[in-house]
Chains A and B, each alone.
Chain A
Amino acid sequence: MAKEKDTKPMANTVIGSSIVIDGEITAEESLTILGTVKGKISVAQNLAVEAGATVEADVEAQTVTVNGRLTGNVVARERLELKPEAKMVGDAKSPRIVIADGAGFKGNVDMDV
């Protein structure tokens, strides 16, 4: 069942721009955030924090792509990418980290070296 979904490029869960979530999100699929999430996020696949989104949460995911505002500690099992509009405050732990020109970042980096 889950394998069928893997072929879809679209995220399975989308948090829209006017949505505010206070609590814990656990997803065995991809998650795209355009709104606001506070609390804790655990994603089995890709987490995308889009431009305009605000996340104040500890995050764990396979890959994390940030183009919005993210406050909290991030563990990306595979890859963390901060796009040009990203503003991130918190510790980042990931074997691969990409920070684009223009992105803001404050915190520790742990690449397990």
Chain B
Amino acid sequence: MADKETVIGSDTRISGEVRGEEDLVVRGRIDGKIQLTQTLTVEKGATVQADLDVGHLVVLGAVVGTIVASESVKLMSTARVVGDLASPRLTMEAGAAYRGRVDMGDIAAARAAASSRAVQRPAVSEKPAIRPAPPRMATLAKAIVATKASAPVAPAAARSTVTPSASVPAPASPPAFPRVAGAMGAMTPAWAKKKIRRR
């Protein structure tokens, strides 16, 4: 249909919403939202920080955001992707870095969930720095090690910073699993807490 494919050049940046019914190749940067019926290709060196609703997705660069692909997703060896992913077909090459949840089941449900989530949160307010995805286990292990070292101190210390006068209930009701509670409360950022709790 399209006589020319759409190319976002390497020195071009788009912030906002991109919609279309043709192939889109990104060599530069897009922040916001992309809705495409055909193939989205994120080239090496390109950055896409957007919620994606596409037909096919091929990633050689960096993608941060929720991904819904109605046909397929290919993460090539240079790909770095962070975000939940829903697609009936998924290919991942050796070397690809990915963090998030994969759903190869009901795409319609995933799309509905993604769009409702997109409404709730601000589109591009926060900009997580793109870095090689740290293994989740490492974060967890670090937190556990740290808590082991300071397990008895951590809950009381945390409480005393909030309300210094709350020394009465402190010894009365320690949490059922003080180590875990300490790890979650003190060491782990909010997003990781959510992930850990799901397990």
On whether the beta carbons of B7 and A19 are closer than 8 Å, the reply is no
Residue contact B5 to A23, C-beta cutoff 8 Å: no
Q: Which single member of B10, B15, B20 contacts A35 (CB below 8 Å)?
A: B20
Shortest CB-to-CB span from B5 to chain A, Å, is 6
Determine if A20 and B19 form an interchain contact, defined as CB atoms under 8 angstroms apart: yes
A residues within 8 A CB of B10?
Answer: 12, 29
Size of the B side of the interface (Cβ < 8 Å), in residues, is: 26
**Nearest A residue (CB) for B21:** A18
Count of chain A residues with a beta carbon within 8 Å of a chain B beta carbon:
27
| CB-based nearest A residue for B13 | A26
- A104: min CB distance to chain B, Å: 25
CB <8 Å contact, B18 and A24: no
B106 within 8 A of A: no
A 19-45 binary contact with B (CB < 8 Å = 1; else 0):
111111111111100110001000010
Name A16's contact: one of B4, B14, B28 (CB within 8 Å).
Answer: B4
Contact B15 A34 (CB under 8 A): no
In this assembly, does B6 line the interface, its C-beta being within 8 Å of a C-beta of chain A? yes
User: Would A24 and B6 count as touching, CB distance under 8 A?
Assistant: no
Determine which of A20, A23, A39 lies in contact with B20 in the assembled complex, contact meaning CB atoms within 8 Å.
A20
**Contact residues of B between 110 and 139, Cβ < 8 Å to A:** none
Contacts of B32 in A (CB 8 A): 23
Which residue of chain A is the closest to B37 with respect to CB atoms?
A: A18
Q: Is A13 in contact with B12, judged by CB distance below 8 angstroms?
A: yes
Contact residues of A with B, CB < 8 Å?
Answer: 2, 5, 11-31, 34-35, 39, 44
Q: Which residues of B contact A (CB under 8 A)?
A: 1-24, 28, 32
Closest 5 CB pairs of A and B: A23-B16, A12-B9, A28-B11, A16-B6, A19-B20
A5-B11, A17-B4 provided; 12 other pairs, C-beta below 8 A? A13-B12, A14-B7, A16-B4, A16-B23, A16-B24, A17-B2, A18-B21, A19-B20, A23-B32, A26-B13, A28-B11, A34-B4
